[in-house]
Structure 1
Amino acid sequence: MVRGISLFYKANSSFFRRVTLITSILSLVFISLFWLVILVAEDQMEVISLDHWLDAEARMFERDYQLQGTAADLPNHYEFDSYWSEEPMPLWLREYTTPGYYEHHLGPEDKHFLVRQHPSGKGLFYVVFKDNADDYLDEYESKLHLFTLLFGFAIMLFTVCYGVYMVRQMAVPLRNVVSKIKQMSPEQPSFVVEARFEELRTIEQALFDSKKHIAAFFQREQEFSRFAAHEIRTPLMVLQGSSELLQTILAEEPRCQKALLRIERACQDIALLTDTFLLLGKETIDAHHYQQLDLETVLREQLPLAQRAAISDTASWTIQVHQNIQLWAPQSFVRVVLINLLKNAFIHGNGELLVELNESQLRVSNHSSKERDSQGYGYGLVIVERICSRMGWQLDIQHQSVDFCVQISFSPEPKDTV
């Protein structure tokens, strides 16, 4: 049953066409039933009319027979043949020995006749319509058929027109609601709740409230992006400048130099995070953010930085470059993806890290020393997934009992650039 319904109601079908089709089918069904009723009523009317005529002729003969005996006139000999079972009669009539109204198919003819007890009390009396005498209603039937056809067509046409009118009465308000859905984007102008019907007015009000919430959300996001671009980057520049100055002043203090290096690296990480999050938050990324990057070069730069996060002092790596990859992408995206994956591998890995470059794929694999942390280190795999999704790169993560492998397939063309 569910399968039948799903086949009848196809996805993305037009509401207007669907209701028009259903209305037309219902009209056709009603007209068919109306036609059937007319045919049955016509047939019954003919039977009732013929039976009434036969009964009237038989009653008249019985009354005359009571008064005149055998001298009584038989039923109208122009329209009927009369037979008595005590006299010679057609053989097909002898099959009917019970009083009543009958119809007998005799070749191409339908014989209507009446069987009653003979007024004399002996045998049966038969009153049979002559050939074509019972067809006097044919002209009336033809007129009735024509009237029924025209009336049924008029009713169907009226029903279809009325159905189309009613569908339009429902479709126009729904189309207005659909047009307001297209204005939900923040850059589109606002709209007015103007539906006449309560249900549609409720939908429009919900759309209007949602549009205000969306506009407010986008405004907060844009304000945050502006604040982050200025209020976060400015202190970072101060910290980096101060760190460089302190390194010059305290050049002879090893402990101070080590602390200042950590401060400088933290500032670089925060700057990288800020650039990445700001780009991820944009609907489209400007073309000037993209650079032609040699993935092997960037990878060799990030591996020593990521190795510092390794738990084991014996951690090592191997790079196998089958075919180098040239990427057209924002540098911050590529650095975030690489440093995150490599740090995760060093922190959670045990033994040598294997990095492979092959055509358009990067593969990082190692032996896992403990259960994988879904958040990873720093940025986390969630951020990597978002970057890959934004850039159209395919991310494949395989984690078994002791082996952990991440593979990224880079797309040849970037997405969402202007």
Structure 2
Amino acid sequence: MTEYKSSLAQRIVIAFVVMAVLVAGAFAVGIVTAVHLVEERLISAELESDLDLLLKARDPKELHLATRANQFFYFSGGEGRFAIPDDLAELGEGFHEVLREPFFYHVMVKKVGDRRYVLIQDQSDFERREQVMYAIVLIGFLLCVLLATMLGWLLGRKVLEPVARLARQVRHRDQLLALAPPLALDYAPDEVGQLAAAFDETLTQLRQALQREQLFTSDVSHELRTPLMVLASSCELLLVNPILDERARKQVERISRASANMQKLVETFLQLARAESGQTNGVSKVSLQEVADELVLEWRAAIEAKGLCLEYISSDYTSGLYNGSFLRSILGNLLRNALHYCDSGYIRLTLQADGFVVEDSGAGIPQDLHETVFDSFVRGNRERGDGLGLGLSLVRRICLHEGWHIQLTPVVPHGCRFAVDLHGKRAARS
């Protein structure tokens, strides 16, 4: 399962929101706590002062006059309206908050000698104002969080804008061209400018490496053509020699086939190197039908000699024209790969409207190699021959250069299927 990782902009927003929650939350809690403490101390002091005044009264008339409109006074042994109610009888000495539905009361209890005195005061209006204040604090807290979210989003977008622009420039394919302008000139000499300078240095090294690779491939391919032609002509002369015995003739024919295959591979590398350097003169364009017919005729004898059935379906094929050398190399490598890893059953070549499919009933490619089978020097079953694992790597390199896509899927119950899209609609398997 892929682990989800938030983007840098999201992390900036989260940091602002967390900071706002902590700061605004601390202020809100502080305000609520302060209000509660002030309420308790001020009101308790006021009730205690009023209760002391009531205790100085001499008769019920004075008690009635000293009591405020929203206050009620009770004491132990009091009669009538001065008798302590049952819900207040168990309250301890000091300040209390009591809810008598639907009103709130603040209660002060004082004990003098054996007698208990209780003064309660209706605080419903105060509680309502307190609830309004709490609502204002909550709204302020939410507004702070919302403001922090917007500020974090705007700041993250502003801060990351040059980073995103740099990423687009680095990702652009023109950066691999030799004449691509430096990136650092577009940025201030800050952290982003340093990152752009580092990309400039890395891209310069990459361009030089690619240029060296293209020159090496082109030079080596060009230099190998002459000895391969000598080898091929020598094989032709040996084959027409009448004194050559049958065993030696088979060895010479094998050398001749290997030389021809090597010559085609060298030609493909040479054309690929020239194409990647922008030299496209003299490229022959052919149809998929022509290449398929040619290679089926070339490979049918070897496939059937191994006891395999070669199925060729060409009823629905694309009518476009393509680089002949590249198309021959891709199709030839896939047919060779199928022949190499298939011991029984069939090899099927199907031409389609958007490309072609090479399918076989061989041992298949292990699942753990599906992601790396197109890399250089990666081979399937190492017990089969001494190849270097460059065939499929060359196939993918050609497809990437031409904008074609190749996809590998397994065949049930065994085998593999290579689908090549010459129109570039499918996703490539890499």
Q: TM-score range, shorter-chain basis?
A: 0.5 to 0.7
Aligned equivalents of 1:247 and 1:255: distance in 2?
A: 11
Aligned equivalent of 1:51: 44
Do the aligned partners of residues 43 and 221 (structure 1) sit closer, same or farther apart at CA in structure 2, a change above 3 Å counting? same
Q: Which moved more, 1:83-92 or 1:137-146?
A: 137-146
Taking the TM superposition and a 5 Å limit, the aligned residue runs for 1:29-178 are 30-32=23-25, 34-60=27-53, 64=56, 74=63, 76-78=66-68, 80-90=71-81, 93-94=85-86, 95-97=88-90, 98-118=92-112, 121-129=113-121, 134=123, 159=148, 163=152, 167=156, 170-172=159-161, 174-175=163-164, 177-178=166-167
Q: What are structure 2's unaligned runs of at least 5 residues?
A: 364-379
Give the letter for the 2:73 counterpart: S
Distance 1:136 1:406, change over 3 A: closer
Cα contact 2:342–2:360 (8 A) shared by 1? no
Letter in 2 for 1:222: Q
User: What are structure 1's unaligned runs of at least 5 residues?
Assistant: none
Deviations 1:265-285 (A, max 9, x none): 565333201122235555599
Partner of 2:395: 387
Superposed CA deviations along residues 56-81 of structure 1, whole A, max 9, x for unmatched, are 2333555x57xxx7799648334544
CA change 1:300–1:405 in 2 (3 A) is farther
Match of 1:186 among 173, 176, 182: 176
| 1:302 lines up with 2:299 in the alignment | yes
C-alpha contact (below 8 Å) 1:388/1:394 kept by paired residues = no
Separation of aligned partners in 2, 1:144 and 1:337: 77
**Preserved contact between residue 95 and residue 109 of structure 2 (Cα < 8 Å):** yes
Summarize the alignment of residues 276-315 of structure 1 with structure 2, pairs less than 5 Å apart: 276-279=268-271, 282=275, 288-292=283-287, 293-294=289-290, 295-304=292-301, 306=302
After TM superposition, the score normalised by the length of structure 2 is 0.63
Answer with 189-198 or 220-229: which moved more.
Answer: 189-198
CA contact (8 A) 2:166 2:196 kept: yes
Q: Distance in 2 between matches of 1:317 and 1:168?
A: 62
Cα distance in 2 for residues equivalent to 1:358 and 1:413: 16
Tell me: CA distance 1:147–1:192, structure 2 relative to 1, closer, same or farther (3 Å).
Answer: same
Cα distance in 2 for residues equivalent to 1:113 and 1:363: 91
Deviates more, 1:31-40 or 1:45-54: 31-40
Q: SS of 1:87's equivalent?
A: coil
Task: Output the amino acid matched with 2:99.
Answer: H
CA distance in 2, matches of 1:146, 1:346: 79
Q: Secondary structure at the match of 1:44?
A: helix
> Which structure would you say has the larger Rg?
1
SS at match of 2:66: coil
Contact 2:184 2:194 in 1 (8 A): no
Alpha-carbon offset, residue 394 of structure 1: 4.5
Query: In the alignment, is the contact (CA less than 8 A) between 2:408 and 2:416 conserved in 1?
Result: yes
Paired letter, 1:85: S
Distance 1:277 1:109, change over 3 A: same
In the TM superposition, what is the alpha-carbon distance from 1:215 to its structure 2 partner?
A: 0.8
Does structure 2 retain, via aligned residues, the 8 Å contact 1:336–1:379? no
Deviation at 1:32, TM superposition (A): 4.8
Paired AA for residue 163 in structure 2: L
The verdict on how the C-alpha distance between 1:186 and 1:101 changes in structure 2, with shifts beyond 3 A counting, is same
Distance 1:353 1:123, change over 3 A: closer
**Matched-pair identity in %:** 18
C-alpha separation between the residues in 1 aligned to 2:286 and 2:295?
12
- SS at structure 2 position matched to 1:83: strand
Count of aligned pairs: 383
Q: Superposed, which structure 2 residues align to 1:311-322 within 5 Å?
A: 319-321=310-312
- Residues 215-294 of structure 1 correspond to what in structure 2 (within 5 A)? 215-228=207-220, 230-233=222-225, 239=230, 247=237, 254-255=243-244, 267-279=259-271, 282=275, 288-292=283-287, 293-294=289-290
Cα shift readout 1:139-176 (whole Å, capped 9, x = no counterpart): 98699679858976886687567646754674256346
Q: Tell me, in whole angstroms, the C-alpha distance in 2 between the residues paired with 1:252 and 1:143.
A: 112
Following superposition, the deviation at residue 51 of structure 1 comes to 0.9
